[in-house]
Amino acid sequence: QPTYVVIGNPIAHSKSPQIHALFAAQFPGHPAVTDFFYDRLLAPLDGFAAAVHDFAVAGGRGANVTVPFKEDAYRFAAELTTRAQAAGAVNTLKRLSSGNWLGDNTDGAGLVADVLRHVEIKDRRILLLGAGGAARGVILPLLAQQPASLSLANRTLSKAEGLLNQFSTMSTIPLLAHEFSHLNSDYDLIINATSASLGGERLPITNSVFAPNALAYDMMYGKVETPFLAQAREAGVTLRVDGLGMLVGQAAEAFELWTSLRPDVEPVLQWMREQL
Ligand code: ATR
């Protein structure tokens, strides 16, 4: 019986079991990981709550939640962290001693930790591309790093405006919604949170959005360069990072929530890169 699972549909492709097994192996003999057994759990599309309930009855202690259940998990959790509330989605569940499930969202912290491995965020101008769930999940953790400003560009402007409105009272950092065609130039950190790369599509941005020494970050990753990172390369950007480090980073945050142990992401990220 697994004590930890990743729940999704589909789930067979999930890399989370390998990542968490490597984290646990960094603490041999530690009491917090002696019964750490992490597996995949396929839930029916209309059966998320029942699946978590059965898992709890069988001794489950924690779960990662992936597509398409992050909003289900948000509604399911009896308690929510501030960052899960801000994200409107839950990617990590922890069974509390009361028996209640705590819902957290570690995606934004995973992104921030990965970006900080390359550049500082404080006082930098951020351009976030996209206004869906992926973008929403990272806004509060990015603002916590005290950037100079956060601009949000989306194909549908009203969605960008609506999203930023939700954060306007939570921070004094300037929040700006833009259409792709009305972006300023010279952003320091440009993050692609759209799903355009999934369809192999490029974004309607010009080379001027990238400041000299900018970091281009794509939440997507793959064996081949993503369309967004190809755009950045052609614009002359040398600092280009894909989302594999965010994946490992969000897992590290979840592992720490469950075990209070802080794993080293670097060797796990290297191993994952080799497996792509
Ligand atoms: P996710 O949970 O991955 O964020 P989502 O909520 O469906 O998925 O959001 C997808 C995001 O990618 C949206 O910001 C979407 O833009 P719209 O709000 O205008 O639909 C954006 N997106 C998807 N395909 C795109 C494309 N080809 N060009 C630009 N933006 C695109």
Spelled out in words, what is the top-level CATH class assigned to the domain 108-242?
alpha beta
Give mean pLDDT, residues 25-46: 97
Question: Given a cut of 90, is residue 125 above it in pLDDT?
Answer: yes
Question: How many Å apart are CA 215 and CA 239, to the nearest integer?
Answer: 5
Fill in the amino acid letter for 251.
A
Question: Given a cut of 90, is residue 89 above it in pLDDT?
Answer: yes
The pair of three-digit structure tokens given for residue 235, joined into one six-digit string: 């614009």
Interval 224-276: pLDDT, tens:
999 999 999 999 999 999 999 999 999 999 999 999 999 999 999 999 999 99
Q: Tell me, which fold does domain 4-105+246-275 have in CATH? A: Rossmann fold (3.40.50)
Q: Give all strands (DSSP E) within 19-74, no chain letters.
A: 38-42, 62-65
According to DSSP, the β-strands at 92-95 and 62-65 are antiparallel
Where do the domains of the chain lie? 4-105+246-275, 108-242
Question: Given a cut of 90, is residue 71 above it in pLDDT?
Answer: yes
Is 156 annotated to bind a ligand? Reply is yes
Task: Report percent pLDDT > 70 for the chain.
Answer: 100
Question: Given a cut of 90, is residue 198 above it in pLDDT?
Answer: no
- Which residue carries 């009855």 as its tokens? 57
Q: What is the pLDDT of residue 154?
A: 98
Residue 179: pLDDT band with limits 50, 70, 90? very high
Return all residues near 63 (Cβ < 8 A) that are at least 6 apart.
4, 5, 6, 7, 41, 52, 55, 92, 93
Give mean pLDDT, residues 117-126: 98
Residue 192: pLDDT band with limits 50, 70, 90? very high
Give mean pLDDT, residues 118-123: 98
Lowest-confidence range among 42-56, 68-82, 192-206? 192-206
Give mean pLDDT, residues 179-192: 97
Question: How many Å apart are CA 129 and CA 7, to the nearest integer?
Answer: 27
Which protein residue's CA is at the shortest distance from atom 9 of ligand 1? 132
Is 130 annotated to bind a ligand? Reply is yes
Q: What is the pLDDT of residue 58?
A: 97
Residue 197: pLDDT band with limits 50, 70, 90? confident
Is 16 annotated to bind a ligand? Reply is yes
The model carries a pTM of 0.96
Q: What is the pLDDT of residue 140?
A: 97
Q: Do domains 4-105+246-275 and 108-242 have the same CATH topology?
A: yes
Question: Relative to the CA of 198, which ligand 1 atom is closest?
Answer: 24
> Average model confidence (pLDDT) for the chain?
97
CA of 197 to the centre of ligand 1 (A): 10
- Which residue carries 């300037």 as its tokens? 174
Mutate to test the pocket of ligand 1, among 129, 155, 202, 203 (most ligand atoms within 8 A of CB): 155
